[in-house]
Structure 1
């Protein structure tokens, strides 16, 4: 039986990228004590939970998504006691904690992979990963999503699969040791009080047994073509058995512990299979993130995903930005229909910053008016844009090097946050150190420049989250209205003006919140979203 009152069904969850949230010791790298010290900000914002990107021991070849030890904390971020303190203090403020889990691959420095290298071809240690012996040529034509071959040859002649960086060997999920290990990892963190797991590359764990050739180029974050043949490395049927076994573990624990899928799967009906009642609880709605700023496409995505998830009794999870994509305050500053770009550099076409922020505020208010759960990415509540002029010598994303500098990568959305306009590193830490350079414009977005300022992006988010909870929008439904891009969700009318002319609100409408001021005669201007009651 479905738990229709579960906390996660209407939760607003805030993604913290630990490297870039807050630095407590001045070394230029964010850390767990820094996050703990800024929990008041999240409580005042009004979110329900935080999702922490990886903080595990790692050589950091892919910003921590190359995990060397799933049961520890990287010294850059603190120690295990700091994680315990963060979880306890978050819970004391009514904030739940979700941690990242990276089960598709480990770091090449993980003890298992080091043992596999030492043991040699044909050993049980190598059975934990996907090794093949195929002579001088790779076992097949698969490509890494970071560029180049997905296979690396060792001096002993064996090849190993890495769908991501060469330092991220893929695990063999047909191996019982791998399955048992991750069940134990789940219990380790559940016993420490975490409220759930965001599962990285959730659609990638199982590969087709015969490793069929696949010549289509993968992208770092690309949906699967629903019209094309199914890729042999993504969205294989066997992943669902794995998640059913994980769900059984989570269900043993009190408090509604959850699994969240990062799965780039299409169509929506296929993605919905990940959130059937005995599997995961949520799956990111990436088609919504990718939809252009046009009413027809947005309505189609909303309808399709609500219908698909309703069919399996799941909530829909909305998202506009995260650590892997250009921030939506910049993405929406390009002409409508511009394909989502893999990073922006100083020599690339630049977004219209004012237009991007205007549309981003409208897009966020539209998203938060939808039923279901919503994810926010750190800094979007400040209106932060992408760092689009970062000098290339500072780039750390492996996509930059492996693509032969064809893709700028994801560093632009990972720049440390500005908390105080006049402080060193804009308050990110107690010194000027910052692992990625902050743009000179960061001061105008700093939290202390926005708190208590009517119309600021921070105050817009805080007001919207409060109203969302007050009117129960997360538990509502979408009833489309005629003659405008507008829908009713309970007692709230959500209206976005995509047209070139200002539009009237219905007679008797009482304005609750607007992403920008209304015209002098009370009309809704272009690229503005309003909530109103009738």
Structure 2
């Protein structure tokens, strides 16, 4: 899919990455080729034909760099080496070639807000060595007196004291992930060299991790307790020089490459600003639409409660404020979020709610991102104790609450953990109903979901009515029909608490998408709307209503019509 398709509409700015569907691979959990219980690069290569059958255009490969794995690869020790658990550079090159041979592209995670504390840069910096002395954020002080009250996104102070340098260093995430000092031009040059090094090896773009944190407020002032988020986050998120840093980075990202930036704390306005301001970002991952189901506190009992009208309002704002003047990254899940069926669907309607969500996601304007297992309708697991959790963020936050006396035991936050833990997305991929789910011949690094004997790729590929084949048909539809890529978006029934419905229109062609996003039947009857001559393009149920207006739509039924 290298050539943008033609449309008659002169307003359309056509790009290959707008027409692509992206599939995220979390290597540790995707496929294990050597039986050690950990997914690896040769295991991914073994499954390239599966991805080709699904029809995706781009593989986003989560970090495979050399790492001590304090945050599962997002703590990088060497940007130019492959983690030996995953293979070596020759294995990576074989994966790249296997994807390119099938006309699929490869994008890599670019993690440059921070490194591992085992990176050579940090080892030299803690010794105060030459040009590296100022590669990180260091503040001199006493061991019991951190520079300010900033809190880490992973819990606890955002500062750790280093005995060797006798100074404090900043880490927005885990203490093993010191933040790079982007004020230092040598740091920026080093990062640009990394970008060029990987581009020279034939990758097709980057997913840029945590880039909203690159710039920090000068002087490290105390955080305001009245501001949302962890204390001080207003000083290390969207800092004063962020745009400047992104512009400089964008200068070395090739024009034909795809670039998507993760911006925690961003809303639609932020996303539009940073996509349109320069050459660095084609689209932004922002998370305002994923806040609709979040409780105020880990001990609250209302985790998972959300309103469809509020969700529609946010998505419509994204479509109008981001996707039309700029471009939108369409996603509901990734390695940092629970499984979308358990979160936004209904496990008791697993197949139908999974295909309903798929229909919504793949008919919106923007570039859709699928996370591994999403195409199978994989669901959340159930964790009985903190010892079952690997996720550094969940463990850090829970241990912080336990030590502070905010909670007395894991049971006090068990509901929240079982709703929001990142480990839900990291349980191994289900390939078959064999022991190890076809993921491994050994002991998996993280426990399998118990339902792998029913929910797996082998069963799904053999069933034409499966979640997998619904995704495959929708991807094929999107590939064939430019209306779903470039067409205008117009919502219907914005205040309805059951239907998410909208039209897409381009060059006089109109499509209608009707999703009953609820566990009760409902009558679809928008005031003044007619669908005479409607033809069903795709549906997740047999015997879908030929004329949707006035029809009863079953729970989680989703139908796409040509008008």
Please, which moves more after superposition, 57-66 or 434-443?
Answer: 434-443
Cα displacement string for residues 284-342 of structure 1 (whole angstroms, at most 9, x for unaligned residues)? 2422344466442233222211222257x421111011000111111135xxxxxxxxx
Q: 1:224 to 1:494 in 2, by over 3 A?
A: farther
For residues 224-263 of structure 1, the aligned pairs below 5 Å read: 231-251=234-254, 256-263=256-263
SS in 1 for 2:356: helix
CA distance in 2: counterparts of 1:141 and 1:229, whole angstroms: 7
> Shift of residue 43 of structure 1?
0.7
CA distance in 2: counterparts of 1:428 and 1:167, whole angstroms: 29
SS in 2 for 1:436: coil
> Shift of residue 357 of structure 1?
5.2
CA distance in 1: counterparts of 2:523 and 2:286, whole angstroms: 29
Q: 1:361 to 1:289 in 2, by over 3 A?
A: farther
SS in 1 for 2:107: strand
Give the equivalent residue in structure 2 for 1:525: 554
Q: 1:41 to 1:495 in 2, by over 3 A?
A: same
Q: Please say if residues 11 and 474 of structure 1, whose CA atoms lie closer than 8 Å, have aligned partners that are also in contact.
A: no
Q: Does 1:137 align with 2:137?
A: no
Give the equivalent residue in structure 1 for 2:374: 380
Q: Please say if residues 514 and 531 of structure 1, whose CA atoms lie closer than 8 Å, have aligned partners that are also in contact.
A: yes
For residues 188-203 of structure 1, the aligned pairs below 5 Å read: 188-203=197-212
Q: Please say if residues 12 and 486 of structure 2, whose CA atoms lie closer than 8 Å, have aligned partners that are also in contact.
A: no
Cα displacement string for residues 38-91 of structure 1 (whole angstroms, at most 9, x for unaligned residues)? 011111111110101000000000000000001110000010111111111101
For residues 10-409 of structure 1, the aligned pairs below 5 Å read: 10-119=19-128, 124-135=131-142, 136-155=144-163, 156-216=165-225, 231-251=234-254, 256-276=256-276, 277-291=278-292, 294-309=307-322, 313-332=325-344, 353-355=347-349, 358-389=352-383, 392-403=386-397, 404=399, 408=417, 409=421
- Consecutive aligned runs of 4 or more in structure 1 exceeding 6 Å deviation: 519-522
Q: Please say if residues 519 and 525 of structure 1, whose CA atoms lie closer than 8 Å, have aligned partners that are also in contact.
A: no
Pick aligned residue for 1:480 from 477, 488, 491: 491
Q: Does 1:494 align with 2:513?
A: yes
Q: Please say if residues 128 and 178 of structure 1, whose CA atoms lie closer than 8 Å, have aligned partners that are also in contact.
A: yes
Q: Does 1:420 align with 2:432?
A: yes
Give the equivalent residue in structure 1 for 2:523: 503
Aligned residues, how many?
502
CA distance in 2: counterparts of 1:285 and 1:131, whole angstroms: 30
SS in 2 for 1:301: helix
CA distance in 1: counterparts of 2:225 and 2:173, whole angstroms: 15
Q: 1:83 to 1:324 in 2, by over 3 A?
A: same
Give the equivalent residue in structure 2 for 1:342: none
- Give ranges in structure 2 of 5+ residues lacking alignment: 1-9, 294-305, 400-409, 526-530
Cα displacement string for residues 462-517 of structure 1 (whole angstroms, at most 9, x for unaligned residues)? 11111122222112221234696422213321012246443358443222222344
CA distance in 1: counterparts of 2:286 and 2:138, whole angstroms: 33
CA distance in 1: counterparts of 2:27 and 2:432, whole angstroms: 18
Q: 1:230 to 1:413 in 2, by over 3 A?
A: closer
Q: Please say if residues 516 and 553 of structure 2, whose CA atoms lie closer than 8 Å, have aligned partners that are also in contact.
A: yes
TM-score, length basis structure 1: 0.88
CA distance in 2: counterparts of 1:458 and 1:498, whole angstroms: 19
Q: 1:131 to 1:3 in 2, by over 3 A?
A: farther
CA distance in 2: counterparts of 1:396 and 1:526, whole angstroms: 35
Q: Please say if residues 148 and 221 of structure 2, whose CA atoms lie closer than 8 Å, have aligned partners that are also in contact.
A: yes
Cα displacement string for residues 205-225 of structure 1 (whole angstroms, at most 9, x for unaligned residues)? 11001111115599xxxx979
SS in 2 for 1:94: coil
Please, which moves more after superposition, 83-92 or 51-60?
Answer: 83-92
Q: 1:117 to 1:2 in 2, by over 3 A?
A: farther
> Shift of residue 389 of structure 1?
3.4
Q: Please say if residues 158 and 171 of structure 2, whose CA atoms lie closer than 8 Å, have aligned partners that are also in contact.
A: yes
Q: Please say if residues 267 and 287 of structure 2, whose CA atoms lie closer than 8 Å, have aligned partners that are also in contact.
A: no
Q: Please say if residues 285 and 318 of structure 1, whose CA atoms lie closer than 8 Å, have aligned partners that are also in contact.
A: no
